[in-house]
Amino acid sequence: MRSSCAAEKIRPPAVAGTFYPAQRDRLQAEVERLLATVAGGVEAAPKAVIAPHAGYIYSGAIAAHAFAALRAALLASPRPASWDIARVVVIGPAHYVAVDGIALPDIDAFETPLGRAPVDRDALAMLHDLPFVITADPPHAPEHALEVELPFLQVLGAPFSLVPLLVGEATPAQVGQVLERLWNAATFVISSDLSHYLDYEAARRRDAATAAIIEGGDWKRLSGNDACGYLAVAGLLMQVARHGLTAKRLALGNSGDTAGSRDRVVGYGAWAFA
Protein backbone atom coordinates (compact mmCIF):
# COMPACT_ATOMS: atom_id res chain seq x y z
CA MET A 1 0.00 0.00 0.00
CA ARG A 2 1.31 3.46 -0.90
CA SER A 3 2.06 5.83 1.97
CA SER A 4 -0.49 8.61 2.38
CA CYS A 5 2.45 11.05 2.29
CA ALA A 6 3.78 9.80 -1.04
CA ALA A 7 3.05 11.78 -4.18
CA GLU A 8 0.50 10.22 -6.48
CA LYS A 9 1.86 8.41 -9.52
CA ILE A 10 -0.17 9.48 -12.53
CA ARG A 11 -0.02 7.92 -15.97
CA PRO A 12 -0.49 10.90 -18.34
CA PRO A 13 -2.37 10.54 -21.62
CA ALA A 14 -0.22 9.15 -24.41
CA VAL A 15 -2.50 9.60 -27.44
CA ALA A 16 -4.55 12.72 -26.66
CA GLY A 17 -4.43 14.87 -29.77
CA THR A 18 -3.82 11.91 -32.06
CA PHE A 19 -6.40 9.21 -31.30
CA TYR A 20 -8.91 11.67 -29.79
CA PRO A 21 -9.13 15.42 -29.08
CA ALA A 22 -6.70 16.79 -26.52
CA GLN A 23 -8.96 19.66 -25.44
CA ARG A 24 -11.39 18.81 -22.64
CA ASP A 25 -14.43 20.52 -24.16
CA ARG A 26 -13.82 19.09 -27.62
CA LEU A 27 -13.31 15.59 -26.24
CA GLN A 28 -16.44 15.77 -24.11
CA ALA A 29 -18.49 16.98 -27.07
CA GLU A 30 -17.06 14.32 -29.40
CA VAL A 31 -17.80 11.43 -27.06
CA GLU A 32 -21.29 12.73 -26.36
CA ARG A 33 -21.88 13.11 -30.10
CA LEU A 34 -20.76 9.54 -30.76
CA LEU A 35 -22.96 8.16 -27.99
CA ALA A 36 -25.94 10.17 -29.27
CA THR A 37 -25.71 8.48 -32.68
CA VAL A 38 -26.51 5.07 -31.18
CA ALA A 39 -30.14 4.04 -31.33
CA GLY A 40 -31.64 1.33 -29.15
CA GLY A 41 -29.89 -0.72 -26.52
CA VAL A 42 -29.74 -4.20 -25.06
CA GLU A 43 -32.45 -6.14 -23.32
CA ALA A 44 -30.30 -7.01 -20.30
CA ALA A 45 -27.59 -5.10 -18.48
CA PRO A 46 -24.21 -6.16 -19.92
CA LYS A 47 -21.62 -7.72 -17.65
CA ALA A 48 -18.99 -7.18 -20.33
CA VAL A 49 -18.53 -5.44 -23.66
CA ILE A 50 -16.02 -5.67 -26.49
CA ALA A 51 -15.03 -2.31 -27.98
CA PRO A 52 -12.41 -1.25 -30.57
CA HIS A 53 -9.49 1.01 -29.73
CA ALA A 54 -8.46 2.92 -32.85
CA GLY A 55 -8.63 6.67 -33.30
CA TYR A 56 -12.13 7.98 -32.80
CA ILE A 57 -12.35 9.17 -36.40
CA TYR A 58 -12.01 5.52 -37.45
CA SER A 59 -13.60 3.38 -34.71
CA GLY A 60 -15.38 5.78 -32.38
CA ALA A 61 -18.79 5.19 -33.94
CA ILE A 62 -18.44 1.44 -33.37
CA ALA A 63 -17.06 1.82 -29.84
CA ALA A 64 -19.95 4.09 -28.95
CA HIS A 65 -22.36 1.15 -29.30
CA ALA A 66 -20.60 -0.73 -26.52
CA PHE A 67 -20.57 2.21 -24.14
CA ALA A 68 -24.12 3.22 -25.00
CA ALA A 69 -25.16 -0.23 -23.82
CA LEU A 70 -23.46 0.47 -20.49
CA ARG A 71 -25.03 3.93 -20.30
CA ALA A 72 -28.51 2.55 -20.97
CA ALA A 73 -28.09 0.24 -17.98
CA LEU A 74 -26.74 3.09 -15.87
CA LEU A 75 -29.72 5.32 -16.66
CA ALA A 76 -32.33 2.59 -16.21
CA SER A 77 -34.81 3.23 -13.43
CA PRO A 78 -34.64 1.19 -11.34
CA ARG A 79 -31.05 0.28 -12.21
CA PRO A 80 -30.56 -3.48 -12.73
CA ALA A 81 -29.34 -4.98 -9.45
CA SER A 82 -26.76 -7.08 -11.30
CA TRP A 83 -25.07 -4.08 -12.90
CA ASP A 84 -22.43 -1.98 -11.23
CA ILE A 85 -19.84 0.31 -12.77
CA ALA A 86 -18.01 1.02 -9.52
CA ARG A 87 -15.10 -1.14 -10.71
CA VAL A 88 -14.28 -1.46 -14.41
CA VAL A 89 -11.70 -3.90 -15.74
CA VAL A 90 -10.28 -2.67 -19.05
CA ILE A 91 -8.11 -5.32 -20.68
CA GLY A 92 -6.42 -5.34 -24.06
CA PRO A 93 -3.24 -6.19 -25.97
CA ALA A 94 0.19 -4.67 -25.38
CA HIS A 95 1.17 -3.13 -28.72
CA TYR A 96 4.48 -1.42 -27.94
CA VAL A 97 6.39 -3.10 -25.11
CA ALA A 98 6.79 -6.88 -24.85
CA VAL A 99 5.05 -8.40 -21.84
CA ASP A 100 5.73 -11.87 -20.48
CA GLY A 101 2.27 -12.57 -19.11
CA ILE A 102 -0.29 -9.94 -18.09
CA ALA A 103 0.95 -6.54 -16.90
CA LEU A 104 -0.50 -4.45 -14.08
CA PRO A 105 0.69 -0.86 -13.54
CA ASP A 106 2.15 0.54 -10.34
CA ILE A 107 0.35 3.87 -10.53
CA ASP A 108 -2.53 5.61 -8.82
CA ALA A 109 -4.53 6.98 -11.76
CA PHE A 110 -4.79 7.19 -15.54
CA GLU A 111 -5.30 10.74 -16.76
CA THR A 112 -7.21 11.94 -19.82
CA PRO A 113 -8.30 15.48 -20.74
CA LEU A 114 -11.55 14.67 -18.89
CA GLY A 115 -9.78 14.02 -15.59
CA ARG A 116 -8.25 11.15 -13.67
CA ALA A 117 -9.53 7.58 -13.47
CA PRO A 118 -8.30 6.15 -10.17
CA VAL A 119 -6.62 2.76 -10.34
CA ASP A 120 -8.24 0.15 -8.10
CA ARG A 121 -5.25 -1.08 -6.12
CA ASP A 122 -7.43 -3.43 -4.05
CA ALA A 123 -8.44 -5.22 -7.24
CA LEU A 124 -4.84 -5.39 -8.48
CA ALA A 125 -3.82 -6.89 -5.13
CA MET A 126 -6.21 -9.77 -5.82
CA LEU A 127 -4.03 -10.76 -8.79
CA HIS A 128 -0.51 -10.44 -7.40
CA ASP A 129 -0.13 -14.10 -6.46
CA LEU A 130 -0.78 -15.34 -10.01
CA PRO A 131 2.63 -16.36 -11.44
CA PHE A 132 1.93 -14.98 -14.91
CA VAL A 133 0.87 -11.54 -13.63
CA ILE A 134 3.62 -8.92 -13.44
CA THR A 135 3.75 -5.31 -12.27
CA ALA A 136 5.33 -3.11 -14.92
CA ASP A 137 4.71 0.51 -15.90
CA PRO A 138 6.66 0.65 -19.22
CA PRO A 139 4.08 -1.35 -21.22
CA HIS A 140 1.32 0.98 -20.02
CA ALA A 141 3.12 4.27 -20.67
CA PRO A 142 2.68 4.45 -24.50
CA GLU A 143 -0.30 2.12 -24.84
CA HIS A 144 -3.48 3.32 -26.57
CA ALA A 145 -5.57 0.14 -26.23
CA LEU A 146 -6.80 0.99 -22.74
CA GLU A 147 -6.54 4.77 -22.87
CA VAL A 148 -8.99 5.32 -25.72
CA GLU A 149 -11.76 3.54 -23.79
CA LEU A 150 -11.46 5.82 -20.76
CA PRO A 151 -13.13 9.00 -22.09
CA PHE A 152 -16.22 6.95 -22.95
CA LEU A 153 -16.35 5.62 -19.40
CA GLN A 154 -15.77 9.09 -17.97
CA VAL A 155 -18.63 10.57 -19.97
CA LEU A 156 -21.08 7.95 -18.67
CA GLY A 157 -21.28 9.99 -15.49
CA ALA A 158 -20.85 7.33 -12.80
CA PRO A 159 -17.77 7.27 -10.56
CA PHE A 160 -15.60 4.22 -11.18
CA SER A 161 -12.25 2.75 -10.28
CA LEU A 162 -10.09 1.29 -13.03
CA VAL A 163 -8.41 -2.10 -13.29
CA PRO A 164 -6.03 -1.70 -16.29
CA LEU A 165 -4.57 -4.94 -17.68
CA LEU A 166 -2.31 -5.46 -20.69
CA VAL A 167 -2.00 -8.92 -22.22
CA GLY A 168 1.31 -10.02 -23.73
CA GLU A 169 2.60 -13.58 -23.98
CA ALA A 170 -0.25 -15.28 -22.15
CA THR A 171 -2.93 -17.88 -22.78
CA PRO A 172 -6.70 -17.52 -22.92
CA ALA A 173 -6.90 -19.68 -19.80
CA GLN A 174 -4.64 -17.26 -17.94
CA VAL A 175 -6.78 -14.33 -19.03
CA GLY A 176 -9.85 -16.25 -17.92
CA GLN A 177 -8.26 -16.90 -14.54
CA VAL A 178 -7.67 -13.17 -14.05
CA LEU A 179 -11.22 -12.32 -15.08
CA GLU A 180 -12.62 -14.97 -12.75
CA ARG A 181 -10.80 -13.44 -9.79
CA LEU A 182 -12.65 -10.18 -10.43
CA TRP A 183 -15.87 -11.51 -11.90
CA ASN A 184 -18.34 -10.91 -9.09
CA ALA A 185 -17.31 -7.32 -8.43
CA ALA A 186 -16.64 -5.68 -11.79
CA THR A 187 -17.83 -4.70 -15.23
CA PHE A 188 -15.49 -5.65 -18.09
CA VAL A 189 -14.38 -3.78 -21.20
CA ILE A 190 -12.41 -5.94 -23.62
CA SER A 191 -10.42 -3.73 -25.95
CA SER A 192 -9.72 -5.14 -29.41
CA ASP A 193 -9.80 -4.28 -33.07
CA LEU A 194 -10.49 -7.03 -35.61
CA SER A 195 -8.66 -7.77 -38.90
CA HIS A 196 -5.77 -5.59 -39.99
CA TYR A 197 -4.80 -4.27 -43.43
CA LEU A 198 -6.92 -6.45 -45.68
CA ASP A 199 -8.80 -4.87 -48.55
CA TYR A 200 -12.37 -3.82 -47.81
CA GLU A 201 -14.23 -6.90 -49.05
CA ALA A 202 -11.70 -9.36 -47.63
CA ALA A 203 -11.94 -7.59 -44.26
CA ARG A 204 -15.72 -7.78 -44.31
CA ARG A 205 -15.56 -11.54 -44.88
CA ARG A 206 -12.89 -12.11 -42.24
CA ASP A 207 -14.64 -9.95 -39.65
CA ALA A 208 -18.00 -11.60 -40.31
CA ALA A 209 -16.35 -14.97 -39.63
CA THR A 210 -14.77 -13.58 -36.45
CA ALA A 211 -18.13 -12.22 -35.33
CA ALA A 212 -19.64 -15.68 -35.78
CA ILE A 213 -16.85 -17.17 -33.66
CA ILE A 214 -17.43 -14.63 -30.89
CA GLU A 215 -21.19 -15.10 -30.94
CA GLY A 216 -20.78 -18.86 -30.95
CA GLY A 217 -18.27 -18.79 -28.10
CA ASP A 218 -15.76 -20.84 -30.10
CA TRP A 219 -12.72 -19.18 -28.53
CA LYS A 220 -10.25 -21.88 -29.64
CA ARG A 221 -10.64 -20.74 -33.25
CA LEU A 222 -9.51 -17.16 -32.59
CA SER A 223 -6.05 -16.03 -33.67
CA GLY A 224 -4.07 -12.86 -34.03
CA ASN A 225 -5.22 -12.65 -37.65
CA ASP A 226 -8.79 -12.24 -36.42
CA ALA A 227 -8.28 -9.65 -33.69
CA CYS A 228 -5.25 -7.96 -32.12
CA GLY A 229 -6.81 -8.52 -28.70
CA TYR A 230 -7.75 -12.12 -29.42
CA LEU A 231 -6.27 -13.44 -26.16
CA ALA A 232 -8.41 -11.08 -24.09
CA VAL A 233 -11.46 -11.88 -26.20
CA ALA A 234 -10.84 -15.62 -25.91
CA GLY A 235 -10.42 -15.36 -22.15
CA LEU A 236 -13.71 -13.49 -21.93
CA LEU A 237 -15.49 -16.09 -24.06
CA MET A 238 -14.31 -18.80 -21.69
CA GLN A 239 -15.78 -16.84 -18.79
CA VAL A 240 -19.12 -16.01 -20.34
CA ALA A 241 -19.62 -19.68 -21.18
CA ARG A 242 -18.82 -20.58 -17.58
CA HIS A 243 -21.31 -18.03 -16.27
CA GLY A 244 -24.05 -18.65 -18.82
CA LEU A 245 -23.95 -15.29 -20.61
CA THR A 246 -24.68 -14.74 -24.28
CA ALA A 247 -23.21 -12.33 -26.82
CA LYS A 248 -25.20 -9.70 -28.67
CA ARG A 249 -23.64 -8.02 -31.69
CA LEU A 250 -24.08 -4.26 -31.48
CA ALA A 251 -22.09 -3.08 -34.51
CA LEU A 252 -19.61 -4.33 -37.09
CA GLY A 253 -17.62 -2.34 -39.62
CA ASN A 254 -14.17 -1.14 -40.59
CA SER A 255 -12.11 1.96 -41.28
CA GLY A 256 -13.24 1.90 -44.91
CA ASP A 257 -16.74 2.75 -43.66
CA THR A 258 -15.55 5.81 -41.77
CA ALA A 259 -12.39 7.73 -42.57
CA GLY A 260 -9.93 5.41 -44.26
CA SER A 261 -9.00 4.07 -47.67
CA ARG A 262 -10.64 0.81 -48.70
CA ASP A 263 -7.35 -0.65 -49.92
CA ARG A 264 -6.05 -1.48 -46.41
CA VAL A 265 -8.61 -1.38 -43.63
CA VAL A 266 -8.87 -2.28 -39.96
CA GLY A 267 -11.97 -4.04 -38.72
CA TYR A 268 -14.01 -3.06 -35.67
CA GLY A 269 -16.85 -4.65 -33.74
CA ALA A 270 -18.86 -4.09 -30.58
CA TRP A 271 -20.61 -6.74 -28.50
CA ALA A 272 -22.44 -6.88 -25.20
CA PHE A 273 -22.58 -9.95 -22.94
CA ALA A 274 -25.46 -10.50 -20.55
> Quick check: 77 pLDDT over 80?
no
Q: Is residue 268 part of a domain?
A: yes
> Quick check: 85 pLDDT over 90?
no
> Quick check: 78 pLDDT over 80?
no
Q: Is residue 1 part of a domain?
A: no
Q: Is residue 32 part of a domain?
A: no
> Quick check: 2 pLDDT over 60?
no
Predicted local distance difference test score (pLDDT) of residue 260: 86
Q: How many domains does the chain have?
A: 1
User: What percent of the chain shows pLDDT beyond 70?
Assistant: 93
Q: Is residue 20 part of a domain?
A: no
Q: Is residue 35 part of a domain?
A: no
Predicted local distance difference test score (pLDDT) of residue 218: 97
Compute the average pLDDT of residues 42-50. 86
> Quick check: 79 pLDDT over 80?
no
> Quick check: 250 pLDDT over 80?
yes
Compute the average pLDDT of residues 191-216. 98
Compute the average pLDDT of residues 196-202. 98
Predicted local distance difference test score (pLDDT) of residue 158: 86
Predicted local distance difference test score (pLDDT) of residue 155: 96
Give 82's pLDDT tier (boundaries 50, 70, 90): low
Q: In the chain, what is the greatest distance between 2 CA atoms, to the nearest angstrom? A: 57
* CATH number assigned to the domain comprising residue 221: 3.40.830.10
Predicted local distance difference test score (pLDDT) of residue 7: 83
| Pairing relationship of beta strands 109-112 and 115-118 according to DSSP bridges | antiparallel
Q: Is residue 145 part of a domain?
A: yes
* Single pTM value for the model: 0.95
pLDDT tens, position by position, 114-145: 999 999 999 999 999 999 999 999 999 999 99
Chain-wide mean pLDDT for the chain? 94
Q: Is residue 12 part of a domain?
A: no
Domain range enclosing 149: 46-273
Predicted local distance difference test score (pLDDT) of residue 84: 56
Q: Is residue 178 part of a domain?
A: yes
